[in-house]
Amino acid sequence: MIDLLQPDSSYYVASETTSGKQQPVVKRAFDISVSLLVTLFILSWLIPIIGLLIRLESRGPILFVQLRSGRNGRPFPCLKFRTMKYQKNASFKQATQNDRRITRIGRILRRTNLDELPQVLNVIAGHMSIVGPRPHPIPLDVQYLPLIPEYRQRFKAKPGITGLAQAKGLRGETSELNQMRHRIRYDIWYTKYSSLSLDVKICWWTVEKMIKGDKNAW
């Protein structure tokens, strides 16, 4: 179990174990290659199946589109499979454990991270990367920017479908300030020492979480 108040030892991997900050061209090539493969061989048949299951359980759109902060703090429309009951013009509220808004299929999608898969389309569009700091809803940015001085540094990189913090289990509700602080420390470390090999490792850790399930995924 990860103690949210104490950093994971793997956070302090020495910088010499990385190959230095990866070149933008290499990262973009990795992003496009992975995104196109996922779109062609997975999303092409998974979207109709998951979409049908979502619509059978609750009315409303298949995809949930939410403005989130991207690189340099620029907002972009972040795509997800809808996991909650549809409520037009609903105000923002973080998902909590046993949240009644979440549908049955939504709980499965969240636990396995499959709800994030449509974001490969955000990657192709250039809004996101496969790996990077997870984009937060704008109300969370507004809440934590004044409270965590280093928070703004996470905007130096494109947000990712998955990230180092999430791969290490730091996801879900941030009801305590230290939970967000700990997550931000992972994000900032990644922006400093990102590499292709690290991206591949984070992708692998994410797949493991998808298979095993994540207890913090509500």
User: For the chain, which residues make up each domain, given as ranges?
Assistant: 9-212
- For the entire predicted model, the pTM comes to 0.84
Q: Contact 131/161 with Cβ under 8 angstroms?
A: yes
Q: Look up residue 146 and give its DSSP letter.
A: T
pLDDT tens-digit series, residues 50-107: 999 999 999 999 999 999 999 999 999 999 999 998 887 777 777 777 788 889 999 9
Q: What angle do CA 178, 170, 93 make, to 5 degrees?
A: 75
Return the pLDDT at 9.
41
**Both structure tokens of 139:** 């109300």
Q: How confident is the model at residue 209 (pLDDT cuts 50, 70, 90)?
A: confident
Q: Contact 128/77 with Cβ under 8 angstroms?
A: no
Mean pLDDT of 185-208: 94
Q: What is the mean pLDDT of the chain?
A: 86
CA distances from 215 to 2, 4, 98, 188, 205 (A): 11, 14, 12, 24, 15
Cβ burial of 108 (10 Å; 0-12, 13-18, 19+) is middle
* Among 82, 78, 83, CA closest to 66: 78
pLDDT tens-digit series, residues 155-186: 999 999 999 999 988 887 777 899 899 999 99
